[in-house]
Amino acid sequence: MQPNDVQVLAFDIFGTVVDWHGSIVREVGALYPQVDADAFVLAWRAGYQPAMQRVRSGELGWTLIDDLHRMVLDEILPRFGLAQLGEDERRHLNRVWHRLDPWPDSVQGLTRLKRRYTITSLSNGNIGLLTNMAKRAGLPWDCVLSAEVFRAYKPDPATYLGVARVFGLPPQQVMLVAAHHEDLEGARACGLRTAYIERPHEFGAAHPKDVSPQPGNDLHCASLMALADRLGC
């Protein structure tokens, strides 16, 4: 791969740039010490794809991730003895997704990559969520793109091709950077370049993830700093 061929790096966010599991475990553990925070967070995340599938299938009209997160949250609270939470507490807890901490390498890695490339988010998270997260965490995006812009959730081709369209580029001049092979497969099918980032503890240290290289990706890197090294930044 010739790095100069790529003009835009588009980043998956949850798990790739930010540590959703660790961040929410810490906050839930502080707010509700009686709850098994690890199990709670994994149950909340387990509802993420099924909720988006309801939108993809047409069962639900277009619905923001904030609202899908809230639907799943309301469903799991009784299971963890938190059915008594009032509206204000539920709203505050649901917005924990706006307050996720970056992985230790993320800000420095993105800052290096930004010197040479246009860097943008490409997340299923909604624009308000991504903007609040970036402001709090110091994520130095040039642009915040979201499934909300295209009214389609990844891996719908409208998301990947939408990035290329926004910047007026052919798909092969956009690279998706993600810690999820299914996301990268969707991008490759649309002609984008792909870089896999290892995040073995995305689901917590107790639930290590297989981060073995898979064929098809242009790059396989241990971190965003390693990606910056590979791309000469």
pLDDT band at 3; cut points 50, 70, 90: very low
Q: Work out the angle between the directed axes of helices 37-46 and 20-31 (0-180°, nearest 10).
A: 130
Quote the pLDDT of residue 170. 97
Res. 141 pLDDT band, cuts 50 70 90: very high
Backbone angles phi, psi at 168, to 5 degrees: 65, 40
Sign for the CA dihedral angle at 146, 11, 201, 157 comes to positive
Say if residues 140 and 112 touch (Cβ distance below 8 Å): no
Question: Rounded CA gap, 10 and 115, in Å?
Answer: 15
pLDDT of residue 4: 55
List the domains of the chain with CATH numbers. Answer: 3-19+100-230 (3.40.50.1000), 20-98 (1.10.150.240)
At 199-215, the pLDDT tens digits run 999 999 999 999 999 98
How far apart are alpha carbons 116 and 99 in whole angstroms? Answer: 28
Written as six digits, the tokens of 193 are 């370049």
3-state SS assignment for residue 144: strand
- Give the tens place of pLDDT for each residue, 79-110: 999 999 999 999 999 999 999 999 999 999 99
Say if residue 232's pLDDT is above 50: yes
pLDDT at 97 (0 to 100): 98
